Structure formats: C-alpha cells, structure tokens
Amino acid sequence: MLPILSGMSPESLADWLRLAGQPAFRCSQILDWIWKKQADSFAAMSNLPATLRNDLSENFRLHGLSHTHTQGAADATRKFLFRLGDGRYVESVLMAANPALYGESSDRHTLCVSSQVGCAYGCKFCASGLAGFARHLQPGEIAGQVLAAQRLSGERVDNLVFMGMGEPLANFDHLLAAIALITGPKTLHLGARHLTVSTAGLVPQIRQLAEHPQQIRLAVSLHGASDEVRDKIMPVNRKWPLAELLDALDYWNSLKKQKLTLEYILIANINDSQEQAILLARHARRLHAKINLIPYNTVDGLEWQRPAESHCLAFLATLGRAGVTATLRLEKGHDIDAACGQLRLKQETTEGLVH
Ligand code: SAH
C-alpha cells in the first residue's frame, strides 16, 4: 500500500521533493494544502504543476482514512467512522466543549482520537479490548482523524484527547510522530497543552513521555485505588502495580507543569466503596492531581453496572472533604455508543453501514 502523504513529517517530505528535483518552496505549498486548506485530493492542489501532482499520486495516498459514517447524538456529540487502507475501521468522537468548563457560549471542540485498532490490555470493563488487538495506527492515521473531523464538521478542533480505541503509549513512536504533526507550526499547529494522552498505566512509557520536551497533558486511567481492586479489573496492574505507577507519576510531575488527571470509572460494588474514595484522595493529594469520576457506561456483553447517582455523589463528596479537586464527568454521546469505553471493533455491524 502507498504511504500516506499527510502522515509525512515536513522533513521527510522536503527530502522526497529534493530527490524528485523539486524546488524547496513546493514543500510549504503541499503542507499548506494538506494542513491549512484541508485539500481532499491531489487535483485540488492547483498551484502545483500537473507533473508533480501526478508524481505525488503515483507515490502516495493523500489521506489514510476514508469517512464511511457519522452518527450524531442528542448532545451534539458526533461519532465518525473511518475506513483504513486495509479495510479495518476506527472511530473518533467530536464533542462540543463541556459548558461546565468553558461557559455556555463556548464553541470549543474536543476530538477524542483512537491510537490503535482494538487494544491488547484487556481492561475488564472496556468495550475496546473485547475483540482483542488488531494493529497500531500509523502517524497519518492518528493525525488524519483530526483533519477528517475538521473537514467533516467545518469546526476547528481546539482540544485533543487520546481516549479513543487503543492504548496510545503502546504505540509510542507513532504517537510521538502524530503529536509532532498535530503541534508542528507547518502542520496543524495545536498547542501541546491542548493535547491529553490517556494511559492505562504503562510505567516505562510514562517515564519516557515525561522526558519529552513538549508540555503534553497526561490522564491516567486509575479505576482502582488499591492493588486488590485494580488487579481485578485491569490486568496491566499485575505488570506495573500501583506503587510503581505512582512513582512514575511523581517523576512525571517533576518534569511537567500541568496537573495530572486521574480518571476513575465508578462501577457498582467493584471500586465505589468509601475506602476506595479515601485511598484515591490520598493518591491524588500525593500527585497534586485532579480526579475525573466517570459513572460506568454499560457495554453490551459485559455485566457491570453504574452505581446510583446518589452513590456517585457520595463518593465525590468524600474526595471533596479530603481536599481534592474532583468532577463527576458529564457524559457525552452515551446514546450513540461513543461514550468512553464504547468504541469497539464493529467490523460486521459497520459493513452494513457502508453503502
Ligand atoms: N488505553 C487508554 C486510552 C483509552 S481512554 C486508557 O486506558 O486510558 C478511554 C477511557 O474510557 C479510559 O479512561 C477508560 O478506562 C474509560 N472507559 C473504558 N470503558 C469504560 C466504560 N464502560 N465506561 C466509562 N469509561 C470507560
């Protein structure tokens, strides 16, 4: 399969053009077409000579994803389904900004992107891992989700969260290459502070990303405040138990300025006890982290339940009394299976959607 032009770094594009005997300014022209003018064909690149457009189309695919379906939710969240070059699918979810964070009149948009097809980590509550791991996404397939979402919605994406399908830190090199495209001045040019990488807790990669010079944000899917609870629901905890994870997060804090986020799904009778709330508050205080509580979203085929709202509020209140900043997350997109944990491999069902 041809390489993806929009996934190329400006440096490698410049190299390719030089070898093809092209003047240096062609590189900026092409990058502008891709990233600023959001061209969706080589033919649209009208200031390039026809021979060069032809040469490009023989050597590259312009984009790595083609849009097959959009599903809209009542709260203006949209889920895009994309087909990859090899016929597999990924989803991205565009959310209007949370008015609680940005004010009612805000028109900011956050895109939730996928980093892999499927996931190998097998968290017991999550839909994405149910069908196992298929493959890593290429840098162009990750950054391309932003380009495609902007083109399809006509909106500018202001914030990006790596909270779609997959474990971004397991696809580390491609993640960094995609981040370079998303933040690069010649490409998408979004500030690193507007990017949040979410991880199930891959300790060596957390340490490695801490050393990365950009001020990217980190969210950690904690979901259990003791090894006993976390072991039951997140197999990754057996490899990197809480003590090692917390040490890695201290290291993160020693090198990064932005507050960490601890994500904590509330699952009835699994991790929602007062004891867990007290332990969670202790970890958050140690890390100066804020906590995002997410009432569990039911997943077809899994028997877990979300606790009653009053129970979630009591958990929240315990954190508050312990002096920790916590929010009970307002879920977006629950009605279109686009809420957290609901992006999953749907090859068979999605085939039916492609006309
Ligand atoms: N692998 C990374 C990126 C995926 S993020 C990570 O684990 O962080 C997806 C977020 O949704 C994670 O916080 C995940 O734990 C959460 N999630 C998974 N299943 C969920 C469910 N059924 N209800 C609510 N949140 C869920």
230 contacts 224 by C-beta, under 8 angstroms: yes
Task: Look at ligand 1, atom 4, and give the residue with the nearest C-alpha.
Answer: 163
The arithmetic mean of pLDDT across residues 237-242, rounded, is: 98
> pTM of the prediction?
0.93
CA-based torsion, 9, 14, 20, 23: positive or negative: positive
pLDDT score at 341 = 61
Percent of the chain whose pLDDT exceeds 70: 90
Q: Distance from the CA of 126 to the center of ligand 1, in angstroms?
A: 6
pLDDT score at 301 = 84
Alpha helices, H only, 130-171: 139-153
pLDDT score at 339 = 66
Residue-wise pLDDT for 35-90, tens only, equals 999 999 999 999 999 999 999 999 999 999 999 999 987 667 899 999 999 999 99
How many angstroms separate the CA atoms of 167 and 200, rounded? 7
CB-hemisphere CA count at 13 Å for 303? 2
The arithmetic mean of pLDDT across residues 105-114, rounded, is: 87
Q: Report residue 175 as tokens.
A: 């993640």
Does residue 204 surpass a pLDDT of 80? yes
How many angstroms separate the CA atoms of 115 and 136, rounded? 7
Q: Distance from the CA of 211 to the center of ligand 1, in angstroms?
A: 25
Does residue 105 surpass a pLDDT of 70? no
Does residue 205 surpass a pLDDT of 90? yes
How many angstroms separate the CA atoms of 188 and 15, rounded? 20
Beta bridge partners of 81: 69, 91
Domain boundaries, the chain: 5-59, 65-350
Does residue 196 surpass a pLDDT of 90? yes
The fold adopted by the segment(s) 65-350 is TIM Barrel (3.20.20)
pLDDT score at 102 = 53
Mutate to test the pocket of ligand 1, among 111, 125, 240, 329 (most ligand atoms within 8 A of CB): 125
Mean pLDDT of the chain: 92
3 state DSSP class of 260: coil
Name the CATH code of domain 5-59 (choices 3.40.50.2300, 1.10.150.530, 2.60.120.10, 2.60.40.2470): 1.10.150.530
Does residue 351 surpass a pLDDT of 50? no
How many angstroms separate the CA atoms of 309 and 298, rounded? 15
Compute, in degrees rounded to 10, the torsion defined by CA atoms 334, 336, 337, 340.
-50
Q: Point out the ligand 1 atom lying closest to the alpha carbon of residue 163.
A: 5
Residue 116: which H helix or E strand, with range? strand 116-118
First and final CA of the chain: distance in angstroms?
Answer: 23
Of 121-135, 199-213, 267-281, 335-349, the range with the lowest mean pLDDT is 335-349
Quote the crossing angle between the two packed helices 203-210 and 172-183, to the nearest 10°.
30
pLDDT score at 73 = 73
Q: Point out the ligand 1 atom lying closest to the alpha carbon of residue 166.
A: 1
221 lines ligand 1 (CB under 6 A): yes
Mutate to test the pocket of ligand 1, among 126, 128, 169 (most ligand atoms within 8 A of CB): 126
Give me the phi and psi of 139, to 5 degrees please.
-55, -40
Does residue 354 surpass a pLDDT of 50? no
Residue 31: which H helix or E strand, with range? helix 25-31
**331 in active site:** no
Q: How confident is the model at residue 353 (pLDDT cuts 50, 70, 90)?
A: very low
Residue-wise pLDDT for 290-346, tens only, equals 999 999 998 888 889 999 999 999 999 999 999 999 999 756 666 666 666 666 655
175 contacts 142 by C-beta, under 8 angstroms: yes
265 lines ligand 1 (CB under 6 A): yes
Give me the phi and psi of 234, to 5 degrees please.
-130, 100
The arithmetic mean of pLDDT across residues 122-127, rounded, is: 92
Matching fold, domains 5-59 and 65-350:
no
3-state SS of 191-204?
CHHHEEEEECCCHH
Compute, in degrees rounded to 10, the torsion defined by CA atoms 48, 49, 55, 61.
30
Beta bridge partners of 133: 118
pLDDT score at 227 = 98
Classify residue 82 as exposed, middle or buried by CB count within 10 Å of its CB (0-12, 13-18, 19+): buried
